[in-house]
A and B are shown apart, each in its own frame.
Chain A
């Protein structure tokens, strides 16, 4: 079987290495034609190919035309190993997609290991480049298939857009077509044409703009190495789509600002780019101007103006190291005749430029949310070129909009696959007898759960029992999800990918199937459940005497809401064990909280609202701020305690591979704007440590002359925004474990395994450390754990963004037919606008100071005075300062169907030409 070997010589920078590798050729490689995936005859008809045929795409076709390949009519494709290797090298997202296609049995994509097959192998010809060799290998493979298929009266069609390759193939007597030729002549699928990515030459030249040429990758790499260029991931500003920044690699990662269309030079948000610094006299400042693309669609907005020389480091993009384009959701611009085929597409994400696409379905697509992918961005085109991928539904429709925000935040929301559902226990599952033997029986304890109303995935329960010897027993019981989700099963893999349950206003996207999340694992008060318990013996002053963990069986006595629990505690006549327990817990929680705050834990605030949803139309009909009761913080306090105890335990048992959560201390510079704003109102805050911050925030609670009482809450809201993201990590790879916000030396997540995958990992570690379960290799592999943690951090961030977007969407729906005057507070002052927060609706928006209430620019620069240090803006003699109370009119602007949004208009204070006249 071992046939031959070749020698490859490779050189690397600096030293010359001779690397010799074996390369075995085999005669037993499956070509899929006999009994394999390609046994069945292909059915797709094409005018250019008379016979039945199989497709062999080359690398560039796979890289650029995935949307065509993914279409259900494209089947019977032969993927060569050569092509797969090249794709993997060039683009990992495309590689992942093509892998999925190959794994899908319906698509009949067959992977042929051509380089190890004795019939299709060829050594490199002297002087041949890798690209040419790969092309030649592809042609050899195509020829091989052609020969094999001959006696079946079928052909292999090589699909390539490379002219030279095409010509060579024709010379060899192969059937070679470009993807355009092939797709145009497919019988019966006209919609495929829209999905074609455009080749570069097909693009018309836009005379108005010419971007500087990008440097070659080799030049860029050399430049980065020599320190002339800086490499980083481009982050476009949320407020101004023509301004971005990169944070350079290395320990002293500094920010470089990039301003203007030409300096950005076709880089798109999140691309990895190489940046060259501009000379210092061209340095600029991030503009305080808010660019509002939606006010005058289509109108060109001048590149942000440069400011004086006292700027921050500024640069320009000289080359793109890695694109991170993905499909974008958005809408087709409504102007232009629908009969035309060229259109502009506006993505929902403001940081992405508009995209030029070609479609014949414009008439039906206008007014719909669609998905578009970018293909290329030629030098002479102002906007990137793209192609249509799919339509989601009409704009403004709630389901469509939900779909958009799920897609935009990469939230997996399709139903669980067959394989996952097969892992579930039967729906009439009950606790098997052998479980009682290995678990502690807590069914007699006065256990209860306290949750928000309407909660069906209850993952925590509590109990409190007086032991009579001056100590009390307190237990936290967490749903034992890991009993059902065994490592390595499809359900486990799916949960690990989803990472978290996502809560939208009207919808919950589960991490695990509903049978588990709302029934078997949910600790409802309707029967016995499996639990993982954390039991403390405590003194009445909350000092912990002992901690232990065990798997258990519990029976919740009552599932309460926060309000119900509060009522029970306050009800003097109730004296049942559950109520007594609640009172005991409440007392302990207050002591715990005090101790925690003493240590420097922050109590921050963010405006949270709940929508009351009409049960029939599912439209929001009312909304209210989330109320906080004693019982909320009671539950929270014990969950924190359990998390801390578990973190200590798993870190002790598995110092190398514990899954922990850390909240890094924010750098002082994060607080600059915040402290400055407070100072402008005469409030001296101190953010040196979390304790200092907590103390100085508490001091603002005292009423003070000339300042409204809401300021303390406002400050807490703003302080929250200065914080860093808390992240999961593997203890073996980091040294700093501290949780800044909670002022805890070590912390993890243990209490919500139904909705967070991190907790599942922690459960497994804890179970292994008490001998209740076995370990397995992935659990103890720190790089593996770190990888999972990275995904979890990403998913959590995305879930948060999706949640926020969902609230935004519902706010819009709520104001659809309303105009309301409401008071709000200025939270930021910008050069041409103020940012207003309306606590009642948790709504935040911009009120422009340079245009009147109808959106026309009327105020010239002289009337507008902006003092950055004092955070104040003066318009026509009226001074507005940060934290001022203002009255705004909230309305829903649907004049442009494509861009529905919430409009804020100033009512008070009155500024001529800007605020709404009181008669309106």
Chain B
């Protein structure tokens, strides 16, 4: 977009953030009682609900996917009709939703200790209530929380964050306006304690010299997310633990 400055000369982004600042992250766990694990996350205006079912015996229509030595993961991503500026009817099986489901599935296949649950199935349901950029990242973070809530064994937390590059500065946690500006967008999911990248995706073109800078920015963004989520999980744990000590 011509004449559109993602970052002002004073160093502030469109919404008032600095380049290396996340949006406000708010989260909650155990929002549904029906599901085995559930979570809700807000990253700025991007709002996602996650629900986990399982591990359970493979449902009838999934029999063909059963593995003998590990569990398989079934991921379904859907976006509410009212989640974007324009009301749009979205069928569950549209291309974008399928892609997203596949990406999230792959991400968690790398993080969940699947061999502990042979011949079973884990369902990850994701529902986007409001979409304002960095959808994949919010979904991954929500799913991580829900999986923790469900008590499923994982190698580490999975934290995801996106970044973009303008005027040689990398911006993290891209919102919708910044996505529209047409710069390349890089998203990655990492396991922060193990320091491993388990997923990365680049939309748009960048020069190879700039990749290192983007990876660094995303990594530090993920670690910030991790700090927030970890604090929340520990807080929740202490709260729950205190019930036991009192009773």
Say yes or no for A102: interface residue by CB 8 A criterion.
yes
Question: Cβ of A20 and Cβ of B132 under 8 Å apart?
Answer: yes
Q: Look across to chain A and name the residue whose beta carbon is closest to the beta carbon of B209.
A: A776
Question: Cβ of A111 and Cβ of B9 under 8 Å apart?
Answer: yes
Contacts of B14 in A (CB 8 A): 21
Which among B17-25, B68-76, B139-147, B235-243 touches the partner chain? B17-25
Report Cα–Cα, A21/B17, bound state, in Å: 13
Contact of B17 among A18, A24, A92, A780 (CB under 8 A): A24
User: Beta-carbon contacts of A763-798 to B below 8 Å, as 1s and 0s?
Assistant: 000000000001111001100000000000000000
Question: Cβ of B10 and Cβ of A22 under 8 Å apart?
Answer: no
Contacts of B45 in A (CB 8 A): 20-22
Q: Look across to chain B and name the residue whose beta carbon is closest to the beta carbon of A18.
A: B85
Contact of B16 among A23, A102, A774, A780 (CB under 8 A): A23
Question: Cβ of A19 and Cβ of B85 under 8 Å apart?
Answer: yes
Say yes or no for A437: interface residue by CB 8 A criterion.
no
> Within the complex, what minimum Cβ distance (angstroms) separates B206 from chain A?
6
Say yes or no for A583: interface residue by CB 8 A criterion.
no
Q: Look across to chain A and name the residue whose beta carbon is closest to the beta carbon of B86.
A: A17
Q: Look across to chain B and name the residue whose beta carbon is closest to the beta carbon of A111.
A: B10
> Within the complex, what minimum Cβ distance (angstroms) separates B1 from chain A?
11
Contacts of B230 in A (CB 8 A): none
Contacts of A25 in B (CB 8 A): 16
Decide if the interface of chain B is mainly helix, strand, loop or mixed: loop
Report Cα–Cα, A689/B86, bound state, in Å: 52
Contact of A92 among B3, B44, B132 (CB under 8 A): B3
Q: Look across to chain B and name the residue whose beta carbon is closest to the beta carbon of A121.
A: B16
Contacts of B210 in A (CB 8 A): 777
Question: Cβ of A21 and Cβ of B86 under 8 Å apart?
Answer: no
Q: State whether A22 and B44 are in contact (beta carbons under 8 Å apart), knowing that A1-B21, A15-B86, A102-B9 are contacts in the complex.
A: yes
> Within the complex, what minimum Cβ distance (angstroms) separates A147 from chain B?
21
Residue picked from B8, B10, B130, B177, most chain A C-beta under 10 Å: B10
User: Beta-carbon contacts of B33-74 to A below 8 Å, as 1s and 0s?
Assistant: 000000000001100000000000000000000000000000
Question: Cβ of A26 and Cβ of B16 under 8 Å apart?
Answer: yes
Question: Cβ of A777 and Cβ of B24 under 8 Å apart?
Answer: no
Report Cα–Cα, A781/B204, bound state, in Å: 11
Report Cα–Cα, A85/B42, bound state, in Å: 30
Contacts of B175 in A (CB 8 A): 21-22
> Within the complex, what minimum Cβ distance (angstroms) separates A9 from chain B?
10
Say yes or no for B32: interface residue by CB 8 A criterion.
no
Say yes or no for A680: interface residue by CB 8 A criterion.
no
Question: Cβ of B85 and Cβ of A113 under 8 Å apart?
Answer: no
Contacts of A775 in B (CB 8 A): 207
Say yes or no for A99: interface residue by CB 8 A criterion.
yes
Question: Cβ of B16 and Cβ of A776 under 8 Å apart?
Answer: no
Contacts of A99 in B (CB 8 A): 9
Q: State whether A113 and B207 are in contact (beta carbons under 8 Å apart), knowing that A17-B85, A20-B45 are contacts in the complex.
A: no
Contacts of A20 in B (CB 8 A): 45, 85, 130, 132
Contacts of B9 in A (CB 8 A): 99, 102-103, 111
Q: State whether A21 and B15 are in contact (beta carbons under 8 Å apart), knowing that A2-B24, A15-B86, A113-B10 are contacts in the complex.
A: yes
Which residues of chain A from 5 to 62 have a CB within 8 Å of any chain B CB?
5, 15, 17-26, 30
Contact of B15 among A1, A23, A88, A780 (CB under 8 A): A23
Q: How many residues of A contact B (CB 8 A)?
A: 31
Contact of A777 among B15, B16, B23, B207 (CB under 8 A): B207
Q: State whether A116 and B16 are in contact (beta carbons under 8 Å apart), knowing that A22-B23, A780-B205, A780-B207 are contacts in the complex.
A: yes
Q: How many residues of B contact A (CB 8 A)?
A: 25
Question: Cβ of A22 and Cβ of B209 under 8 Å apart?
Answer: no
> Within the complex, what minimum Cβ distance (angstroms) separates A393 from chain B?
36
> Within the complex, what minimum Cβ distance (angstroms) separates A646 from chain B?
23
> Within the complex, what minimum Cβ distance (angstroms) separates B42 from chain A?
11
> Within the complex, what minimum Cβ distance (angstroms) separates B212 from chain A?
13
Residue picked from A1, A24, A113, most chain B C-beta under 10 Å: A24
Say yes or no for A519: interface residue by CB 8 A criterion.
no
Report Cα–Cα, A781/B10, bound state, in Å: 26
Report Cα–Cα, A781/B209, bound state, in Å: 14
Report Cα–Cα, A884/B59, bound state, in Å: 98
Say yes or no for A178: interface residue by CB 8 A criterion.
no
Q: Look across to chain B and name the residue whose beta carbon is closest to the beta carbon of A85.
A: B8
Q: Look across to chain B and name the residue whose beta carbon is closest to the beta carbon of A10.
A: B85
Say yes or no for A81: interface residue by CB 8 A criterion.
yes
Q: Look across to chain A and name the residue whose beta carbon is closest to the beta carbon of B24.
A: A2
Report Cα–Cα, A800/B205, bound state, in Å: 37
Contacts of A115 in B (CB 8 A): 16
Question: Cβ of B12 and Cβ of A113 under 8 Å apart?
Answer: yes
Contacts of A777 in B (CB 8 A): 206-207, 209-210
Contacts of B17 in A (CB 8 A): 2, 24
> Within the complex, what minimum Cβ distance (angstroms) separates A390 from chain B?
27
> Within the complex, what minimum Cβ distance (angstroms) separates A22 from chain B?
5
> Within the complex, what minimum Cβ distance (angstroms) separates A771 from chain B?
15
Report Cα–Cα, A71/B243, bound state, in Å: 71
Residue picked from A99, A103, A111, A116, most chain B C-beta under 10 Å: A116
User: Beta-carbon contacts of A453-467 to B below 8 Å, as 1s and 0s?
Assistant: 000000000000000
Which residues of chain A from 833 to 859 have a CB within 8 Å of any chain B CB?
none
Question: Cβ of B3 and Cβ of A88 under 8 Å apart?
Answer: yes
> Within the complex, what minimum Cβ distance (angstroms) separates B217 from chain A?
15
Contacts of B85 in A (CB 8 A): 17-20
Report Cα–Cα, A151/B114, bound state, in Å: 67
Question: Cβ of A21 and Cβ of B177 under 8 Å apart?
Answer: yes
> Within the complex, what minimum Cβ distance (angstroms) separates B102 from chain A?
29
Contacts of B86 in A (CB 8 A): 15, 17
Contacts of A781 in B (CB 8 A): 205
Report Cα–Cα, A5/B15, bound state, in Å: 9
Contacts of B16 in A (CB 8 A): 23-26, 113, 115-116
Contacts of A18 in B (CB 8 A): 85
Q: State whether A776 and B207 are in contact (beta carbons under 8 Å apart), knowing that A22-B175, A102-B9, A111-B9 are contacts in the complex.
A: yes
User: Beta-carbon contacts of A95-125 to B below 8 Å, as 1s and 0s?
Assistant: 0000100110000000101011000000000
Q: State whether A116 and B132 are in contact (beta carbons under 8 Å apart), knowing that A777-B207, A777-B210, A780-B205 are contacts in the complex.
A: no
Contacts of B206 in A (CB 8 A): 777
Question: Cβ of B15 and Cβ of A22 under 8 Å apart?
Answer: yes
Question: Cβ of A24 and Cβ of B15 under 8 Å apart?
Answer: yes
Report Cα–Cα, A103/B21, bound state, in Å: 25
Q: Look across to chain A and name the residue whose beta carbon is closest to the beta carbon of B210.
A: A777
> Within the complex, what minimum Cβ distance (angstroms) separates A11 from chain B?
11
Report Cα–Cα, A679/B17, bound state, in Å: 70
> Within the complex, what minimum Cβ distance (angstroms) separates A128 from chain B?
21
Report Cα–Cα, A116/B205, bound state, in Å: 32
Contacts of B12 in A (CB 8 A): 113, 116
Question: Cβ of A81 and Cβ of B8 under 8 Å apart?
Answer: yes
Which residues of chain A from 361 to 375 have a CB within 8 Å of any chain B CB?
none
> Within the complex, what minimum Cβ distance (angstroms) separates A772 from chain B?
17
> Within the complex, what minimum Cβ distance (angstroms) separates B141 from chain A?
17
> Within the complex, what minimum Cβ distance (angstroms) separates B41 from chain A?
15
Report Cα–Cα, A17/B85, bound state, in Å: 5
Report Cα–Cα, A26/B13, bound state, in Å: 12
> Within the complex, what minimum Cβ distance (angstroms) separates B15 from chain A?
5
> Within the complex, what minimum Cβ distance (angstroms) separates B204 from chain A?
11
Contacts of B23 in A (CB 8 A): 2, 22
Q: Look across to chain B and name the residue whose beta carbon is closest to the beta carbon of A17.
A: B85
Which residues of A line the B interface, CB within 8 A? Answer: 1-2, 5, 15, 17-26, 30, 81, 88, 92, 99, 102-103, 111, 113, 115-116, 774-777, 780-781
Closest 6 CB pairs of A and B: A777-B207, A24-B16, A116-B16, A17-B85, A22-B15, A2-B24
Given A20-B132, A26-B16; 5 other pairs, CB 8 A cutoff: A2-B17, A2-B23, A21-B45, A22-B24, A24-B15
29 A–B contacts from the bound complex (CB under 8 Å): A5-B24, A15-B86, A17-B85, A20-B45, A21-B14, A21-B15, A21-B45, A21-B177, A22-B15, A22-B23, A22-B44, A22-B45, A24-B15, A24-B17, A81-B8, A81-B10, A102-B9, A103-B9, A111-B9, A111-B10, A113-B8, A113-B12, A113-B16, A115-B16, A116-B12, A776-B207, A777-B206, A777-B210, A781-B205
